[in-house]
Structure 1
Amino acid sequence: MTATTRVISVSVPVRDQDKAIEFYTQTLGCELVTDVELWPGARLVEVRPPGSSVSLLLLPPDSEIPVAVRLGTTDADEAHARLTAAGATMHNDEPLRWEGVPPMFAFADGDGNTLVYLEEGGPTRA
């Protein structure tokens, strides 16, 4: 069975990403890890407390990037098949494969919370 390997990141909904960066870095002492526009209108901002392996993604509530808890898994395909067979609410018909990022997919738990599985430990697939 595919394992959940760790919590990678947790999304925090924010109204203004620039103000959130200022608060999380200057007030809370987090490090800015990522600030990129993945595609037009989809800005990904990631901060991390020093010494932590878990990041916070600062996302607007209306972002196309899901506000979710991101978990690592050993095999995205197997995890997707297992969750589909278990009747989980799937947000992707199959794992997404984008150049430079690991296979991933989004789903919901029984309470409607969005979770994302990202494959860890193997080569990144295009």
Structure 2
Amino acid sequence: MTQPTFTSVLTVAVPVTDQDRTKELFETLGSKTIFDRELQPGFRWLTLELPGGTATLSLILAGPELPTGIDTGVRLSTPDARAAHATLTGLGLQVGDLLDWESAPLMFVFRDPDGNRFYVTEPYDSE
């Protein structure tokens, strides 16, 4: 048997106009900066580790080929969607309705200061 080509998702890059502003937001939400360096003039790579997660978020400077206001496709997990919804609303972010369906865990969407869409959900019930 051959070794697997890929073993996990390491990071997801999200374009932002102000890396420090978005870094501060995610640190307020419990993330920790694990990498912050200018790799070449004008190109800073900033990576945040989410508490308890294995994948990270990398905040990269937006540009013509990397616009903001995107649907990131990123699904963030939380043990308490109601509390997370209240926290993000309290921070003044654009937060969607808390979806409370019988057949799925609590979930909602929010947009960061650049309008990038993130999804938040409680863990799935495996039963």
TM-score by length of 1: 0.46
Report the structure number with the largest CA radius of gyration: 2
